[in-house]
Structure 1
Amino acid sequence: MARKMIVGSTFYFVIGVIMGMAMSMTENYTLSPVHAHVNLLGWVSLALGGLLYQLYPAAANSRLGKWHFWLHMLGIPLMMAGLACMLLTGSAAFVAAVSVGGVFVVVGTILFSANAVRHML
Protein backbone atom coordinates (compact mmCIF):
# COMPACT_ATOMS: atom_id res chain seq x y z
CA MET A 1 0.00 0.00 0.00
CA ALA A 2 2.84 2.40 0.80
CA ARG A 3 4.37 1.96 -2.64
CA LYS A 4 0.99 2.37 -4.38
CA MET A 5 0.33 5.61 -2.55
CA ILE A 6 3.76 7.08 -3.18
CA VAL A 7 3.70 6.12 -6.87
CA GLY A 8 0.15 7.48 -7.17
CA SER A 9 1.21 10.72 -5.53
CA THR A 10 3.92 11.27 -8.13
CA PHE A 11 1.25 11.11 -10.84
CA TYR A 12 -0.62 13.96 -9.17
CA PHE A 13 2.65 15.86 -8.64
CA VAL A 14 3.34 15.78 -12.38
CA ILE A 15 -0.22 16.92 -13.16
CA GLY A 16 0.00 19.74 -10.59
CA VAL A 17 3.35 20.98 -11.89
CA ILE A 18 2.20 20.90 -15.51
CA MET A 19 -1.00 22.75 -14.57
CA GLY A 20 1.02 25.40 -12.75
CA MET A 21 3.36 25.86 -15.69
CA ALA A 22 0.46 26.05 -18.16
CA MET A 23 -1.35 28.63 -16.03
CA SER A 24 1.82 30.73 -15.77
CA MET A 25 2.54 30.53 -19.48
CA THR A 26 -0.99 31.52 -20.49
CA GLU A 27 -1.52 33.89 -17.55
CA ASN A 28 -4.91 32.23 -17.10
CA TYR A 29 -5.46 31.17 -13.51
CA THR A 30 -9.06 29.97 -13.82
CA LEU A 31 -8.07 26.46 -12.72
CA SER A 32 -6.04 27.57 -9.69
CA PRO A 33 -8.40 25.78 -7.26
CA VAL A 34 -7.97 22.53 -9.21
CA HIS A 35 -4.18 23.02 -9.26
CA ALA A 36 -4.10 23.57 -5.50
CA HIS A 37 -6.31 20.55 -4.74
CA VAL A 38 -4.36 18.26 -7.06
CA ASN A 39 -1.14 19.24 -5.33
CA LEU A 40 -2.43 19.05 -1.76
CA LEU A 41 -4.83 16.10 -1.93
CA GLY A 42 -3.03 14.19 -4.66
CA TRP A 43 0.65 14.86 -4.19
CA VAL A 44 1.10 15.82 -0.54
CA SER A 45 -1.65 13.79 1.17
CA LEU A 46 -0.97 10.59 -0.75
CA ALA A 47 2.80 10.89 -0.35
CA LEU A 48 2.54 11.47 3.40
CA GLY A 49 0.04 8.64 3.73
CA GLY A 50 2.40 6.37 1.82
CA LEU A 51 5.32 7.29 4.05
CA LEU A 52 3.26 6.62 7.16
CA TYR A 53 2.11 3.29 5.75
CA GLN A 54 5.77 2.43 5.09
CA LEU A 55 6.54 3.13 8.75
CA TYR A 56 3.46 1.25 10.00
CA PRO A 57 2.92 -1.85 7.84
CA ALA A 58 0.02 -3.06 9.99
CA ALA A 59 -1.88 0.09 9.01
CA ALA A 60 -0.96 -0.34 5.36
CA ASN A 61 -2.17 -3.95 5.31
CA SER A 62 -5.45 -3.24 7.07
CA ARG A 63 -8.84 -2.93 5.39
CA LEU A 64 -8.91 0.70 6.49
CA GLY A 65 -5.66 1.32 4.61
CA LYS A 66 -7.00 -0.26 1.44
CA TRP A 67 -10.29 1.65 1.63
CA HIS A 68 -8.41 4.88 2.31
CA PHE A 69 -6.25 4.38 -0.77
CA TRP A 70 -9.09 3.53 -3.15
CA LEU A 71 -11.46 6.24 -1.94
CA HIS A 72 -8.70 8.81 -2.31
CA MET A 73 -7.60 7.56 -5.74
CA LEU A 74 -11.17 7.51 -7.08
CA GLY A 75 -12.36 10.66 -5.33
CA ILE A 76 -9.63 13.06 -6.41
CA PRO A 77 -10.04 12.67 -10.20
CA LEU A 78 -13.82 12.74 -9.95
CA MET A 79 -13.81 15.85 -7.78
CA MET A 80 -11.12 17.63 -9.83
CA ALA A 81 -12.74 16.85 -13.20
CA GLY A 82 -16.07 18.15 -11.92
CA LEU A 83 -14.46 21.26 -10.44
CA ALA A 84 -12.52 21.97 -13.64
CA CYS A 85 -15.67 21.62 -15.74
CA MET A 86 -17.59 23.91 -13.38
CA LEU A 87 -14.86 26.55 -13.48
CA LEU A 88 -14.47 26.38 -17.26
CA THR A 89 -18.15 26.32 -18.18
CA GLY A 90 -19.71 28.17 -15.26
CA SER A 91 -22.31 25.41 -15.15
CA ALA A 92 -23.56 23.94 -11.89
CA ALA A 93 -24.28 20.68 -13.75
CA PHE A 94 -20.99 19.29 -12.43
CA VAL A 95 -21.79 19.80 -8.74
CA ALA A 96 -22.67 16.11 -8.39
CA ALA A 97 -19.20 15.00 -9.56
CA VAL A 98 -17.52 17.44 -7.18
CA SER A 99 -19.78 16.33 -4.34
CA VAL A 100 -19.37 12.58 -4.85
CA GLY A 101 -15.62 12.89 -5.34
CA GLY A 102 -15.39 15.12 -2.29
CA VAL A 103 -17.33 12.66 -0.15
CA PHE A 104 -14.99 9.85 -1.28
CA VAL A 105 -11.95 11.90 -0.25
CA VAL A 106 -13.46 12.95 3.09
CA VAL A 107 -14.52 9.39 3.96
CA GLY A 108 -11.09 8.11 2.89
CA THR A 109 -9.45 10.72 5.12
CA ILE A 110 -11.64 9.75 8.08
CA LEU A 111 -10.71 6.10 7.53
CA PHE A 112 -7.04 7.09 7.40
CA SER A 113 -7.42 8.88 10.72
CA ALA A 114 -9.15 5.87 12.29
CA ASN A 115 -6.41 3.66 10.88
CA ALA A 116 -3.75 5.89 12.40
CA VAL A 117 -5.40 5.75 15.81
CA ARG A 118 -5.76 1.98 15.56
CA HIS A 119 -2.32 1.05 14.22
CA MET A 120 0.07 3.98 14.64
CA LEU A 121 -0.23 4.91 18.29
Structure 2
Amino acid sequence: MGAKWIKFAVIYLIIGIAYGLFMHYTIQLQWKTLHAHILVVGWQSTGLIGVIYSIYKDAARTKLAMWQYYLHNIGLPILLVGMLFVPILNSIPMWLFELCVTGGGLAFALSIILFIINVFKKVA
Protein backbone atom coordinates (compact mmCIF):
# COMPACT_ATOMS: atom_id res chain seq x y z
CA MET A 1 0.00 0.00 0.00
CA GLY A 2 2.85 2.41 0.80
CA ALA A 3 4.30 2.15 -2.71
CA LYS A 4 0.94 3.08 -4.26
CA TRP A 5 0.80 6.21 -2.13
CA ILE A 6 4.36 7.17 -3.06
CA LYS A 7 3.65 6.69 -6.78
CA PHE A 8 0.60 8.97 -6.54
CA ALA A 9 2.75 11.52 -4.69
CA VAL A 10 5.28 11.52 -7.51
CA ILE A 11 2.48 12.20 -10.00
CA TYR A 12 1.47 15.24 -7.92
CA LEU A 13 5.13 16.35 -7.87
CA ILE A 14 5.27 16.22 -11.67
CA ILE A 15 1.97 18.11 -11.98
CA GLY A 16 3.06 20.69 -9.40
CA ILE A 17 6.39 21.39 -11.08
CA ALA A 18 4.78 21.59 -14.53
CA TYR A 19 2.09 23.90 -13.18
CA GLY A 20 4.69 26.11 -11.50
CA LEU A 21 6.66 26.37 -14.72
CA PHE A 22 3.47 27.27 -16.61
CA MET A 23 2.69 29.99 -14.07
CA HIS A 24 6.22 31.34 -14.25
CA TYR A 25 6.54 31.50 -18.02
CA THR A 26 3.04 32.89 -18.62
CA ILE A 27 3.09 35.15 -15.54
CA GLN A 28 -0.31 33.70 -14.55
CA LEU A 29 0.25 33.95 -10.81
CA GLN A 30 -3.41 34.04 -9.75
CA TRP A 31 -3.29 30.25 -9.34
CA LYS A 32 -0.49 30.22 -6.74
CA THR A 33 -2.78 28.78 -4.06
CA LEU A 34 -3.63 25.82 -6.29
CA HIS A 35 0.07 25.35 -7.06
CA ALA A 36 0.83 25.25 -3.32
CA HIS A 37 -1.97 22.74 -2.66
CA ILE A 38 -0.78 20.44 -5.43
CA LEU A 39 2.70 20.34 -3.92
CA VAL A 40 1.93 20.42 -0.19
CA VAL A 41 -1.22 18.28 -0.07
CA GLY A 42 -0.61 16.26 -3.23
CA TRP A 43 3.13 15.67 -3.15
CA GLN A 44 4.21 16.05 0.47
CA SER A 45 1.21 14.74 2.41
CA THR A 46 0.51 11.88 0.03
CA GLY A 47 4.19 10.93 0.03
CA LEU A 48 4.40 11.06 3.82
CA ILE A 49 1.35 8.82 4.12
CA GLY A 50 3.10 6.42 1.75
CA VAL A 51 6.26 6.42 3.86
CA ILE A 52 4.25 5.84 7.06
CA TYR A 53 2.37 2.95 5.46
CA SER A 54 5.66 1.52 4.17
CA ILE A 55 7.12 1.54 7.67
CA TYR A 56 3.96 0.42 9.51
CA LYS A 57 2.67 -2.34 7.27
CA ASP A 58 -0.02 -3.43 9.72
CA ALA A 59 -1.64 -0.02 9.43
CA ALA A 60 -1.51 -0.25 5.64
CA ARG A 61 -3.42 -3.55 5.60
CA THR A 62 -6.58 -2.31 7.31
CA LYS A 63 -10.00 -1.49 5.84
CA LEU A 64 -9.49 2.06 7.12
CA ALA A 65 -6.36 2.36 4.97
CA MET A 66 -8.23 1.06 1.92
CA TRP A 67 -11.11 3.51 2.39
CA GLN A 68 -8.68 6.32 3.06
CA TYR A 69 -6.77 5.51 -0.13
CA TYR A 70 -9.87 5.73 -2.31
CA LEU A 71 -11.34 8.81 -0.62
CA HIS A 72 -8.01 10.61 -0.81
CA ASN A 73 -7.29 9.77 -4.43
CA ILE A 74 -10.81 10.61 -5.60
CA GLY A 75 -11.44 13.63 -3.37
CA LEU A 76 -8.12 15.45 -3.77
CA PRO A 77 -8.18 15.72 -7.59
CA ILE A 78 -11.80 16.91 -7.46
CA LEU A 79 -10.87 19.51 -4.83
CA LEU A 80 -7.92 20.69 -6.93
CA VAL A 81 -10.13 21.03 -10.01
CA GLY A 82 -12.51 23.13 -7.93
CA MET A 83 -9.63 25.32 -6.82
CA LEU A 84 -8.65 25.75 -10.47
CA PHE A 85 -12.03 27.46 -10.98
CA VAL A 86 -11.52 30.12 -8.26
CA PRO A 87 -9.91 32.82 -10.45
CA ILE A 88 -12.49 32.26 -13.23
CA LEU A 89 -15.69 31.97 -11.16
CA ASN A 90 -17.52 34.32 -13.53
CA SER A 91 -17.09 31.78 -16.35
CA ILE A 92 -18.49 28.65 -14.68
CA PRO A 93 -21.74 27.75 -12.92
CA MET A 94 -21.49 28.19 -9.16
CA TRP A 95 -22.96 24.71 -8.51
CA LEU A 96 -20.04 23.11 -10.37
CA PHE A 97 -17.54 25.04 -8.28
CA GLU A 98 -19.34 24.14 -5.05
CA LEU A 99 -19.64 20.47 -6.06
CA CYS A 100 -15.92 20.22 -6.67
CA VAL A 101 -14.70 22.19 -3.69
CA THR A 102 -17.23 20.88 -1.18
CA GLY A 103 -17.45 17.30 -2.46
CA GLY A 104 -13.73 16.88 -3.06
CA GLY A 105 -12.87 18.72 0.14
CA LEU A 106 -15.17 16.57 2.27
CA ALA A 107 -13.88 13.33 0.72
CA PHE A 108 -10.30 14.47 1.30
CA ALA A 109 -11.03 15.59 4.89
CA LEU A 110 -12.71 12.25 5.64
CA SER A 111 -9.67 10.42 4.26
CA ILE A 112 -7.42 12.36 6.65
CA ILE A 113 -9.71 11.54 9.58
CA LEU A 114 -9.51 7.84 8.63
CA PHE A 115 -5.72 8.14 8.45
CA ILE A 116 -5.55 9.69 11.93
CA ILE A 117 -7.77 6.96 13.38
CA ASN A 118 -5.72 4.27 11.65
CA VAL A 119 -2.43 5.67 12.91
CA PHE A 120 -3.66 5.85 16.51
CA LYS A 121 -5.02 2.30 16.31
CA LYS A 122 -2.19 0.55 14.45
CA VAL A 123 1.05 2.49 14.84
CA ALA A 124 2.89 1.55 18.02
More displaced stretch, 2-11 vs 91-100: 91-100
Report the secondary structure of 1:118's partner residue. helix
Whether 1:67 aligns to 2:67 is yes
Q: Contact (CA 8 Å) 1:78, 1:98: kept in 2 or not?
A: yes
The equivalent residue for 2:99 is 96
Mapping of 1:26-105 within 5 angstroms? Answer: 26-90=26-90, 91=92, 92-93=94-95, 94-105=97-108
Q: Using the TM superposition, name which of 110-119 and 63-72 deviates more.
A: 63-72
Q: TM-score, normalised to structure 2's length?
A: 0.92
Aligned to 1:10: 10
Aligned length: 121
Q: Which amino acid in the other structure matches residue 87 of structure 1?
A: P
Quote how far apart the aligned CAs of 1:85 are. Answer: 1.9
**Alpha-carbon shift at residue 86 of structure 1 (Å):** 3.0
CA RMSD in angstroms, aligned pairs only:
1.1
Unmatched segments (≥5 aa) in structure 1: none
The 2-side partners of 1:22 and 1:11 are apart by 16
Letter matched to residue 103 of structure 1? L
TM-score by length of 1: 0.94
Whole-angstrom CA distance in 2 between matches of 1:69 and 1:81: 19
Structure 2: state its 5+ residue gaps: none
Structure 2 partner of 1:108: 111
**Cα distance in 1, alignment partners of residues 89 and 25 from structure 2:** 21
Spell out, residue by residue over 1:87-108, the C-alpha distance to the aligned partner (whole angstroms, 9 max, x if none). Answer: 2344533122110000011000
